[in-house]
């Protein structure tokens, strides 16, 4: 849960992002079907221990996925998804410090998913993963 706390803290404190997507539309796990779009969700994907001989403090590396969903016409929603992914990257990438009480060595962009569109609902979405290295 610590890595998710870090990502949520970074997202909710990035003014340009919350100007586009209010904090009330940033969800843990999944974006509810009834949510107003655009909306963002963040999910834990995996965690491994960073082990080393003589390591006194347990350091973990987690992957957290952040997904943005936007409704609208094809070209409008595509451009909005790309804009929000860029803001999410600016909020989270290349960060370190103490976020929401979690001592964080680094937050680094990992995987950017393909573009997706659900033509029936008119929703476009994309995900970006971040590697979060932190002390437990």
Are 131 and 63 spatial neighbours (Cβ–Cβ below 8 Å)?
A: yes
Q: What is the pLDDT along the chain (136 residues), one digit of tens a residue?
A: 799 999 999 999 999 999 999 999 999 999 999 999 999 999 999 999 877 666 666 889 999 999 999 998 777 889 999 999 999 999 999 999 999 999 999 999 999 999 999 888 889 999 999 999 999 8
- Can you list the alpha helix ranges (DSSP code H) found in the chain? 2-12, 15-20, 74-92
Q: What is the pLDDT of residue 132?
A: 97
The whole-angstrom separation of Cα 39 and Cα 13 is 16
Q: What is the pLDDT of residue 57?
A: 66
The whole-angstrom separation of Cα 98 and Cα 113 is 28
Q: What is the pLDDT of residue 56?
A: 65
């Amino acid at each position: 849960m610590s890595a998710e706390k870090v990502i949520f803290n970074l997202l909710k404190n990035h003014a340009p992002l919350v100007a586009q997507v209010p904090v009330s539309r940033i969800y843990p796990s999944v974006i509810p079907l009834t949510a107003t779009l655009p909306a963002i969700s963040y999910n834990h994907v995996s965690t491994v221990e960073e082990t080393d001989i003589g390591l006194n403090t347990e350091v973990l590396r987690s992957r957290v996925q952040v997904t943005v969903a936007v409704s609208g016409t094809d070209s409008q929603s595509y451009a909005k998804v790309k804009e929000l992914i860029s803001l999410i990257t600016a909020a989270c990438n290349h960060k370190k410090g103490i976020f929401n009480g979690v001592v964080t060595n680094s937050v680094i962009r990992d995987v950017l998913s393909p573009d997706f569109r659900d033509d029936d609902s008119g929703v476009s979405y994309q995900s970006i993963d971040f590697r979060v290295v932190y002390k437990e």
